[in-house]
Chains A and B, each alone.
Chain A
């Protein structure tokens, strides 16, 4: 089985360059790249005018299986990923039951092998049930395939427990992904605290609810030597804390979501529950600082925090609706429109934050198209202009505030282990 991808602009995050060349895939591996490659029996994929990149990795998604299959399953979520150009996702453990032991991690790995359209890397819980009471069996989960540990959705409130979990995770050489939210400061709020929450009469979540936890976790990571990754950075203050920590050499990385670098709390006016997300949409100053953080390298990764919910759950009063929005199928369009066309990142920088950088954070041998690497490849049409239509989504969730938005940049094809999984929105099975 060979595949020859011809004439694309190949993005190489390792070398930091884009060059026009062909890529030859044989038996699921990159066999080589160069000009005018030929192979008699290879299937040819014309990529002229398109970007050929290492397979995109979304290190923050909620696949909802087991337990919340009405929202999403591994089957539908990985198809949403493939349609969005992702060849791999890391799925968060806040399923039902919580992925806090080896058996559940194994079941996710097995289900992904059977049903998944793309690679699935499970994240294990830090604490049992993500309840913040005692450490989960991280060692067992690592053996079963957990690539990182997180209680995403909730913070580890007890700093003594988190400190010990960091010491333990360091021993296992696994990263701790932190959901930074001081629940007392958030105080049951529904949106960013500021002028918009004031006029809407919705209880606010102050920026400090995130920032005090970012500061705490940085200090604990510095002291324990554990690798720390801050999930979904939403405030200017968090970006500044991260910048300062990195300048001192703390082993901390961070991600931002497309919605946090695109939208502000102004979107909440009208009480559209698809704008209800945790951390909340912040202000224009926060968006500007996140973009600055992406540009100067303070924020390493772009991840979606894909959080599907059913229409019934979202079609209620704002306060009653669950937090979260889907992101897999709009990510590339938003990155290209807002960041690349918007002059914030070069194409190489943008792709690096969706390939090599998340691979490094998770310790995966991915994010490269060098000979011998797994042939996980994404082909993007950077000029395609399209309109977001949730009815076309492959995932189950339709909860996006970007419906009707016109975007530039569309995933053209997704190739996992040398197999064409998606092309022009259509799926192919092996």
Chain B
């Protein structure tokens, strides 16, 4: 055991040692996923609740499988079919859920700070599965795990994060995670989608996509939402794709063995071309497998030792 906090709300306040511990713990967890019988009794009798106020395929399934592989019981609550639709507040919903005896609450919520509100309110562990544009720490942990597994290290790597940084909780968690682990991070995207003061997070803001890709060891491509164009943040998806889309020509500007990553869901043909998404340098599917391993590690570290 070595996590200071009962919760994981974000990577901003997690130390490099704690990140290292989670990644080290995830490696043997990945072995379990590869077995024919994917079940160990570690969390038998513990309960993990997934509370999702936003649509999700990957993250929710990943958490539920992670819990099940460790023999925890899981219950999923979707906001659309719960008392939330009757106007119950987040705090009251959470107090009720906790009163039923959950050990961990995994929360996905469209508003920044929702996980912190829950963590402050409840005695049980809260894992942030994405809160607004704030953080998505388990996505960053699986990104770090994937890169470390492929490259053998994180320190000294050159990481490019490309796209809608402004609205991306993945970008924020990635930036905290990569920089804490000693990687060099640069960001590129339309000027309207680069949030103010981001350089104070320890990243370099590139004037162009080409500058960011130059010699990059890792390219993290973010999803661009059509909604942002409708909000007037850039002129058209066509132009976005032409200036910031990653295709095989642009990929050549990066290091020859650069990893291509995407948190999903992808808009193929917009921020990423199909040949890059399914190309040899893409680790997008492995990210998904590693997501389960990292979440198993996290559940184990948060509630595994104190049954």
Measured CB to CB, the residues of A under 8 A from B are: 193-204, 270-271, 312, 315-320
Contact = CB atoms under 8 A, between A and B. Distances in A.
Interface in B97-125: 109, 111-114, 116-117
A411 B90 CA distance: 39
A278 to B, nearest CB: 18
A316 B89 contact: yes
Contacts of B201: 195, 198-199
Interface of B: 12, 89-91, 109, 111-114, 116-117, 131-135, 169, 172, 195-198, 200-201
Contact of B132 (A195, A199, A204, A319): A319
Nearest to B232: A187
Contacts of B197: 194-196, 198
Given A199-B172, A199-B201, A201-B134, A319 B112 contact: yes
B196 A317 contact: no
A315 B195 contact: no
Contacts of A201: 112, 131-135, 169, 172
B contact patch SS: mixed
A312 B87 CA distance: 13
Given A199-B12, A200-B134, A201-B131, A317 B200 contact: no
B134 A320 contact: no
Contacts of A199: 12, 172, 201
Given A198-B196, A317-B117, A318-B111, 19 more contacts: A196-B197, A198-B198, A200-B112, A200-B134, A201-B112, A201-B131, A201-B133, A201-B135, A201-B169, A202-B132, A202-B134, A203-B133, A204-B196, A315-B89, A315-B91, A317-B109, A317-B113, A317-B114, A320-B111
Nearest to B12: A199
B90 A318 contact: no
Contacts, number: 66
A197 B133 CA distance: 10
Contact of B111 (A193, A198, A319): A319
B196 A193 contact: yes
A200 B198 CA distance: 11
A315 B12 CA distance: 24
A162 B117 CA distance: 41
Nearest to A283: B197
Contacts of B195: 197-198, 204
20 contacts: A193-B196, A194-B196, A195-B201, A199-B12, A199-B201, A200-B113, A200-B134, A201-B131, A201-B132, A201-B135, A201-B169, A201-B172, A202-B113, A202-B132, A203-B133, A312-B89, A316-B91, A317-B90, A318-B117, A319-B132
A40 B132 CA distance: 70
A319 B169 CA distance: 16
Given A194-B196, A199-B172, A271 B91 contact: no
B134 A317 contact: no
A203 B233 CA distance: 14
B116 A270 contact: yes
Nearest to B176: A199
A contact patch SS: loop
Contacts of B132: 201-202, 319
A318 B113 contact: yes
Contact of A271 (B117, B133, B196): B117
Given A198-B196, A198-B198, A317 B111 contact: yes
A316 B84 CA distance: 13
B112 A202 contact: yes
Nearest to A202: B112
A194 B196 CA distance: 5
A24 B197 CA distance: 58
A194 B195 CA distance: 8
Nearest to A196: B197
Contacts of B91: 315-316
Contacts of A196: 197
A387 B114 CA distance: 30
A203 B112 CA distance: 9
A201 B109 CA distance: 13
Contacts of A318: 111-113, 117
Given A195-B197, A198-B201, A271 B113 contact: yes
A204 B192 CA distance: 13
The 7 closest A-B pairs by CB, nearest first: A195-B197, A271-B113, A201-B134, A201-B133, A201-B112, A198-B195, A317-B111
A317 B135 CA distance: 15
* Best-surrounded residue of A201, A204, A316 (most CB of chain B within 10 A): A201
Given A270-B116, A317-B117, A319-B132, A195 B196 contact: yes
A196 B200 CA distance: 10
B112 A271 contact: yes
A270 B134 CA distance: 12
A139 to B, nearest CB: 42
Contacts of A320: 111
A208 to B, nearest CB: 12
A235 to B, nearest CB: 14
A199 B135 CA distance: 9
A196 B198 CA distance: 9
A399 to B, nearest CB: 15
A195 B91 CA distance: 28
A271 B116 contact: yes
Contacts of B113: 200, 202, 271, 317-319
A206 to B, nearest CB: 8
Contact of B200 (A195, A204, A316): A195
